[in-house]
Amino acid sequence: MVSFTGSTATGRAVMTDAALTLKKVFLELGGKSAFLVLDDADLAGACSMAAFTVAMHAGQGCAITTRLVVPRARYDEAVEAAAATLGGIKPGDPNSKRTVCGPLISARQRDRVQSYLDLALQEGGRFACGGGRPADLDTGFFIEPTVIAGLDNTARVSREEIFGPVLTVIAHDGDDDAVRIANDSPYGLSGTVFSGDDARAQAVASRMRVGTVNVNGGIWYSADAPFGGYKQSGIGREMGVAGFEEYTEIKCVATLAN
């Protein structure tokens, strides 16, 4: 068996090589997860949470919800709330306990993230905060935590995994449209739903084509909970009973009855 965590492109290469000897594979790959805010949710609180999670690990997490999908009627309010949180997080020394957003892993990745920020402007988007390198950090692979507004789900920055502290805010026109936007992705790793009505949130969560869903702040990342994705986010599950079973094979032994 081959177990791999990384990009979808590399996962395809691993799977191709494994096919030569018919090896079983476990692949935990990319994501472009959606954070759905319904019209009865605490908008400011939900948007603040979405923004904060994007800053963790400088956005270098496959399951981070990097698409914030909010009611169209409150779009500007949502952008403002997300920008207030993310714009207040300053990148800094990863060795400091006070740092939330550290550097990216390499100069190459920093430049890649910057290229997506440049693309966002080319696609007609705008920055509600961030958008480049911090002016006060002349060394290190830092990118400002950034909120992109003014784009829909067809934009490349809304569809492709950036792997940096970047949040794109997208408008929806009701629950059905929010689910459509969430599922309109080649990925299906994780998702979040916030609503003032738990039953409504659960109904939306059940329609999302993703492996894990956070409903109103529920924490799904646990040793006893299976984790993995749909579609191009991977194959198989880790953790939980399902995670153990990935590394086993079934054998049937028959003996002659006396």
What confidence tens digit (pLDDT) does each residue in 17-56 have?
A: 999 999 999 999 999 999 999 999 999 999 999 999 999 9
Q: What is the mean pLDDT of the chain?
A: 96
Give me the pLDDT at residue 219, please. Answer: 83
User: Catalytic: which of 28, 144, 238, 246?
Assistant: 28
Given a cut of 90, whether residue 220 has pLDDT beyond it is: no
Given a cut of 90, whether residue 4 has pLDDT beyond it is: yes
Give me the pLDDT at residue 199, please. Answer: 96
Which residues have C-beta within 8 Å of that of residue 133, sequence separation ≥ 6? 110, 114, 142, 143, 144
List strand residue ranges (DSSP E) for 112-251, in order. 126-129, 146-149, 166-172, 187-188, 190-194, 212-215, 230-231, 234-235
Given a cut of 90, whether residue 221 has pLDDT beyond it is: no
Specify the pTM.
0.94
* Known catalytic membership, residue 80: no
Query: Nearest-CA neighbor of 145 among 89, 76, 63?
Result: 89
Q: Are the CB atoms for 89 and 100 separated by under 8 Å? A: yes
C-alpha–C-alpha distance, residues 258 and 156, integer Å: 67
If you average pLDDT over residues 166-179, what whole number do you get? 99
If you average pLDDT over residues 136-142, what whole number do you get? 92
If you average pLDDT over residues 95-102, what whole number do you get? 94
CATH superfamily to which 31-218 belongs: Aldehyde Dehydrogenase; Chain A, domain 2 (3.40.309.10)
Tokens for 14? Answer: 């691993």
* Residues constituting the chain: 258
Give me the pLDDT at residue 138, please. Answer: 86
Q: Are the CB atoms for 205 and 234 separated by under 8 Å? A: no
If you average pLDDT over residues 120-145, what whole number do you get? 96
Portions of the chain given CATH number 3.40.309.10: 31-218
Which residues have C-beta within 8 Å of that of residue 211, sequence separation ≥ 6? 188, 189, 190, 226, 227, 228, 229, 230, 233, 237
If you average pLDDT over residues 155-179, what whole number do you get? 98
Give me the pLDDT at residue 190, please. Answer: 96
CB atoms within 10 A of CB 13: 12
If you average pLDDT over residues 184-190, what whole number do you get? 97
With 0-12 / 13-18 / 19 or more C-beta atoms within 10 angstroms meaning exposed / middle / buried, residue 128 is buried
C-alpha–C-alpha distance, residues 34 and 118, integer Å: 22
Q: What are phi and psi of 59, to 5 degrees?
A: 75, 10
Q: Are the CB atoms for 42 and 58 separated by under 8 Å? A: no
Given a cut of 90, whether residue 258 has pLDDT beyond it is: no
CA separation, residue 87 to residues 59, 165, 167, 171 (Å): 14, 11, 11, 20
Give me the pLDDT at residue 214, please. Answer: 96
CA separation, residue 239 to residues 14, 62, 151, 166, 242 (Å): 21, 16, 36, 28, 7
Give me the pLDDT at residue 172, please. Answer: 99
Block residue for tokens 């939980």: 240
Confidence of residue 145 (pLDDT cuts 50, 70, 90): very high
- Percent of the chain residues past pLDDT 90, beyond the cut: 97
Ranges 99-113, 145-159, 211-225: which has the least confidence? 211-225
If you average pLDDT over residues 67-87, what whole number do you get? 98
Query: Nearest-CA neighbor of 69 among 110, 39, 97?
Result: 39
Residue 42: DSSP 8-state: -
Give me the pLDDT at residue 253, please. Answer: 96
